[in-house]
């Protein structure tokens, strides 16, 4: 964790919580989204560049 993030959180009184990656019991909603996004978007697309990736991801999102 970077010190900039720690200082940002402290100054804005933001509580930073970190979960172990891949633990569905800790954060099942985002893990479910990440799995679906990977399966439906990343695994079926080859991105030519950042603009192409942005366009395809936006189309998937809608």
Cα–Cα distance, 35 to 22 (Å, whole number): 10
Q: What's the token pair of residue 23?
A: 């633990």
Which tens digit of pLDDT belongs to each residue from 35-53?
Answer: 888 888 888 878 899 999 9
Would you state the pLDDT for residue 51? Answer: 93
Phi, psi of 32 (to 5 degrees): -65, -45
Would you state the pLDDT for residue 15? Answer: 84
pTM: 0.48
Would you state the pLDDT for residue 22? Answer: 61
Domain ranges of the chain: 22-62
Terminal alpha carbon distance of the chain: 33
Would you state the pLDDT for residue 24? Answer: 62
Confidence of residue 1 (pLDDT cuts 50, 70, 90): low
């Amino acid at each position: 964790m970077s010190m900039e993030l720690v200082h940002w959180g402290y100054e804005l009184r933001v509580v930073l919580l970190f979960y172990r990656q891949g633990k569905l019991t800790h954060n099942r909603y985002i893990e479910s989204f990440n799995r679906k996004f990977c399966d439906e978007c990343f695994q079926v697309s080859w991105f030519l560049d950042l603009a192409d990736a942005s366009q395809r991801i936006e189309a998937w999102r809608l």
